Amino acid sequence: MKKKLTFLGIETSCDETAASIVIYDNKKPHVISNIISSQIKEHKRFGGVVPELAARSHMQNIDFIINEALRKGGVHLKNIDGIAATAGPGLTVCLNVGLNIGKSLAAFLEKPFIAVNHLEGHALSPGLEKKIKFPYLLLLISGGHSQYIIVKGVGRYKQIGTTIDDALGEAFDKTAKILDLGYPGGPNLEIKAKKGDENFFILPRPILNRGGCNLSFAGLKTAVLREAQKIKKDKRLKLNLAASFQKTVIDILKKKTSVAIEQFRDLTKKNSADLIVAGGVAANEKIKEALSELCRNKKINPIFPSKEFCGDNAAMIAWAGIQNFKFRKGNQLNVTAKSRWPLDSKAPFMKGPGLKI
Ligand code: KG4
Ligand code: ZN
């Protein structure tokens, strides 16, 4: 196999249009360019992502973003060794934009095309910055997913916990919307929470002491809604509620992460390992501080990707593409967009009424 691999990564699964050039020199990856165009302005007035608008915006921007990634990276299209694009999970209309342009370019250039699982992009993202040893425990917290996964290797995932209702990023976004804290919800809530009293409201911590390391946030969000209706427009109380919400989330994550660490140790028989926290919510400083402290107590090494690699980006897609290409897969021009694509295909589906855990 060729020693050096230059990959173009493309990401359009939700509301970020992104392209990146990553070069793997047979030792480590180098992110040569990482271009992200966020659609915050388009979706702000709706308070959430509108799929058709997002897809239209991806279509308008994708060729410019790819050209920017190539230009900034100083790489000509003919020198690309392969193209990786997100094929799922995500909004199908959005995924199709990146997937189709990625496939067309690959077919035209007669280069391999790799269809990447977005969650695998997040799962392997810390490898962009440092060498990571398998197996490790992954806490993936994003807008659509909240999972504990044992990562045994590229393509080898065992899910040990997941949310049974809302994802954590979704809970942040909905809480911010209820409290009118601005869009995008998660980052704005974190900023506003700094000014509030986190001990003012006592909020529920659903399934804290049962259900292993499965998570639940819907009841917490409903409690925020109830309290918000009582306090109406009182600004101080709103900040207190935002801070109390964030503190409750941290309490839940601390407890569930320590359960997940025990399960990881039981299943892998490994005591010393890394806990990798990835996905958009991993950018939250308070969560980072709390989980880092927990890891110190539990004698496990915490790893948080830099902010530019926490949220959606195409460098993580290029890197997952390179690893899949190297270790396992050939051309994947026949893969279609998938709205649901779990990392662990054997994991039980944990959502729906009547679920007992
Ligand atoms: O990974 P990501 O960019 O997209 C998905 O794959 O979903 O994650 C986006 C989520 C959003 O829900 C956003 O509000 C949340 O990550 N997020 C945060 C913060 N930054 C982004 N949540 C809490 N605190 C933050 N600082
Ligand atoms: Zn994501």
Per the CB < 8 A criterion, the answer to whether 99 and 85 are in contact is yes
Location of each CATH 3.30.420.40 domain in the chain:
5-127+309-328, 134-304
Q: Please write down the long-range contacts of 329-332, taking CB distance under 8 Å and 24 or more positions apart.
A: 329/114, 330/112, 331/106, 331/112, 331/113, 332/87, 332/113, 332/114, 332/115
Closest ligand 1 atom number to CA of residue 283: 26
Closest ligand 1 atom number to CA of residue 143: 7
C-beta of 88 in contact with ligand 1 (< 6 A):
no
How far does the centroid of ligand 2 lie from the alpha carbon of residue 301, in Å?
Answer: 23
Distance CA 200, CA 241 (A): 7
- pTM of the predicted structure, to 2 decimals: 0.95
C-alpha gyration radius of the chain:
20
What torsion do the CA atoms of 317, 318, 323, 328 make, to the nearest 10 degrees?
80
The pLDDT, as a whole number, for residue 2 is 64
How far does the centroid of ligand 2 lie from the alpha carbon of residue 143, in Å?
Answer: 7
Q: Per residue in 247-303, pLDDT tens?
A: 999 999 999 999 999 999 999 999 888 999 999 999 999 999 999 999 999 999 999
The pLDDT, as a whole number, for residue 354 is 65
Pocket test for ligand 1, best of 166, 172, 246 (most atoms within 8 A of CB): 172
Q: Per residue in 309-342, pLDDT tens?
A: 999 999 999 999 999 998 776 788 999 999 999 9
Closest ligand 1 atom number to CA of residue 142: 8
End-to-end CA distance of the chain: 48
State which residues of the chain have pLDDT below 50.
none
C-beta of 121 in contact with ligand 1 (< 6 A):
no
Q: Which CATH architecture has domain 134-304?
A: 2-Layer Sandwich (3.30)
Superfamily designation of domain 5-127+309-328: ATPase, nucleotide binding domain (3.30.420.40)
CA angle 156, 133, 24 (to 5 degrees): 85
How far does the centroid of ligand 2 lie from the alpha carbon of residue 311, in Å?
Answer: 6
